[in-house]
Amino acid sequence: MNKDSNTPTRVIRCLFYAFVLSLPFETVGEGWLEPTTILGGLLLLSALLQPGLFLRWPPKGFWCFIIYLYVFASLSLLEPSSYRSLSVLNVFLLAQLTVLGWIGFSLMRDRQTAERALLTFGAGCVLLSLLQVTGIASRAVEAEAAIVRVTAFGFHPNNLARILLLGMLALVGLTFGRSKSLLRPIFITWPFILLIGVALVQTGSRGGLLALAAGMMTLVLRRGTVMIKVLNGVGLLVLLGIFFVVALQSDIMRARFEETLEEGDVARREQIYPTAWQMFQEKPLLGWGPISSTYELGMRLGHPEEETKNPHNLVLFGLVSTGLVGSLPLFIGIGFAALSAWKTRHGPHGILPLAMLVAVLVANMSGLWLFNKLHWLVMAYALASVYHVARANADLHVTSDDPQLAERFASA
């Protein structure tokens, strides 16, 4: 057992790294045999090995997420009996993800654990990209306009794009988003970053490319002299420009952007968003219910092959499913995560926590990612970043044992 109760044991750290590495491959296998499910269960059990690390008072941001879970579960009990099994599964999934977020937060308060976890995740995305680009694990998917998109291991193209862009941001942030690069020499990461970019373009995900652009632009805000900021900004803009040029050279991506610009086609979101907003206006306080809302939206859209439909937008999903009562704690919790990431932009991890959070939020504007593990891990990483700053401030004797002191220093 470690003398420092804030530092995870080697067993717990290794399980966490293995779990993070498995995230780009979570569709390999089936049901309980998925590697991510198995490793997640082992990670949960490993918390018993070091209870002092996990049984701590949550920060304000996580209290908001716990309140949201409580409201979500309470409203699920009011669903019609015909939806009861789906409601139970939804609540169970959200509870699992909230616990996963707490475990990730507790572990990533240790700066070295957070760094290695991000590096491991980036390596997993590189391997997945290699398997897809070389055709070993790629699969063609037909989009609505007979546009062939490429994915791997059964992922939906949009979901795969979001995973890959976070892996790319992790590698870019660990290399260029800090005062001291974690990966040296820095040029060794360029081929890996470009490889992930090619795989991302193959998915044909417009939302994924926009989320990547938002994350990259956030990285420009990193700490340094004016000259360093200019050089980093130019470098990141050049990198982003390369990806957009590659995207425009891709028949898949070019055709999808042309649909958007010429025909206003955004995969029926131009119909989904106004309809969902109208539903919120009809029941603004408690919403329609997590399951009932999807059936109501599907019925109003009238698509012959889709009985249910979620709003493809985190804000609209929160408002439609749980109304203002449920969505406000969720949004406030996300706000606390963003505030923590902004306060610690001059800390050991630089602007990376904020860049990854911005990318996740932009991705959530064109697709619902609330029930995805990476959504919660990024929220946990952003909330944990304040403790990296506190621990780095040895001269002021601020330690991660006192969240209030940590937040006070971060705001200084």
Contact between residue 100 and residue 377 where contact means Cβ atoms under 8 Å apart: yes
- Which tens digits make up the pLDDT trace of 113-159? 999 999 999 999 999 999 998 988 777 665 554 566 778 888 888 89
Q: In the 8-state DSSP scheme, what is residue 308?
A: -
> Is 50 exceeded by the pLDDT of residue 1?
no
Phi, psi values for residue 140, rounded to 5°: -80, 140
What token pair was written down for 394? 């040895």
Give yes or no for a contact between 221 and 228, defined as CB atoms under 8 angstroms apart: no
- How much is the pLDDT for 223? 62
**Contacts of residue 183, Cβ cutoff 8 Å, sequence gap at least 6:** 119, 171, 174, 175, 189
Place of tokens 């968003």: 273
Mean pLDDT score, 25-35: 72
Q: Which helix (H) or strand (E) holds 194?
A: helix 189-202
63 CB-contact burial (10 Å; exposed 0-12 / middle 13-18 / buried 19+): middle
What pLDDT is stored for residue 144 in this prediction? 52
- Is pLDDT of 243 > 90? no
Instruction: Please tell me the predicted confidence (pLDDT) of residue 178.
Output: 59
Name the residue with higher pLDDT: 283 or 201: 283
> Which amino acid is present at 160?
L
Give the chain's end-to-end CA distance (angstroms, integer). Answer: 35
Task: Tell me what the mean pLDDT of segment 66-74 comes to.
Answer: 97
Q: If you average pLDDT over every residue of the chain, what do you get?
A: 83
Mean of the pLDDT values across residues 394-399?
Answer: 45
The percentage of the chain sitting over the pLDDT mark of 90, rounded to a whole number, equals 48
What pLDDT shows up at residue 398? 44
Rounded average pLDDT over 215-221: 84
φ, ψ for residue 74 (rounded to 5)? Answer: -65, -45
Give residue 188's pLDDT band: very low, low, confident or very high (50, 70, 90): confident
| Bridge partners for 142 per DSSP | 148
The residue ranking higher by pLDDT, 308 or 407, is 308
322 or 28, higher pLDDT:
322
What's the CA gap between 154 and 148, in Å, rounded?
15
243 is written with which tokens? Answer: 């990806």
How far is the C-alpha of 232 from the C-alpha of 216, rounded, in Å? Answer: 11
- C-alpha 18, offset from chain centre: 18
Over the Cα atoms of the chain, what is R_g?
A: 21
Mean pLDDT throughout 340-347?
A: 88
- How confident is the model at residue 139, as a pLDDT? 73
pLDDT at res. 206:
81
Residue 16 contacts residue 107 (beta carbons within 8 Å): yes
CB 24 within 8 Å of CB 64: no
**For residues 199 and 129, is the Cβ–Cβ distance under 8 A?**
yes
Return the structure tokens found at 326.
Answer: 């449920």
Higher pLDDT, 204 or 184: 204
In 3D space, the residue among 22, 15, 18, 4 whose CA is nearest the CA of residue 46 turns out to be 15
**Whether pLDDT at 181 is above 90:** no
258 vs 277, more confident: 277
Say yes or no to pLDDT of 19 above 90.
yes
Tell me the C-alpha distance between 295 and 290, whole Å: 10
Q: What is the mean pLDDT of residues 188-202?
A: 88
